[in-house]
Amino acid sequence: MEKDLFIESMKKRTKKFGVDVILFCDSLKPCKAASIVTYQLVKAATSVGANYRSACRGRSDNEFFSKICIVVEEADESLFWLEVIEDSGLSINPGDLRRLLEEATEIVKIVSKTKDTMYKKLNP
């Protein structure tokens, strides 16, 4: 039961992350670079939640592992684009940027741990 609660909370959390990123991107300084970075970031951030949900519906441990690897990649890519926004000064909202950086970092840590645990299970 506790595992089911965790899974549901992560589904909500990863979806919220994607939505929060979409809303945050609307506040970036309007310029050509921002539109390119926004495109990449929104694709990666929304993919985190979509692929997490897909992983949870996996029909086997191998399928779950494959999908959770994608979640790790997309979460890390989201973190990368948020760092690019920070380093380039594209954000006019440093509080929201900091919060999203922290959330992306936490999600990367959580799904990386899940990936490592599943890898050990599949490769004893």
Instruction: Write the pLDDT tens digit of every residue in 78-118.
Output: 999 999 999 999 999 999 999 999 999 999 999 999 999 99
Copy the structure tokens of residue 20. 């929060």
Asked if 21 and 81 touch (Cβ cutoff 8 Å), the reply is no
Number of domains in the chain: 1
Range of the domain at 17: 2-122
Instruction: Write the pLDDT tens digit of every residue in 39-78.
Output: 999 999 999 999 999 999 989 999 999 999 999 999 999 9
DSSP 27: T
Looking at residue 61, which CATH number applies to its domain? 1.20.1440.60
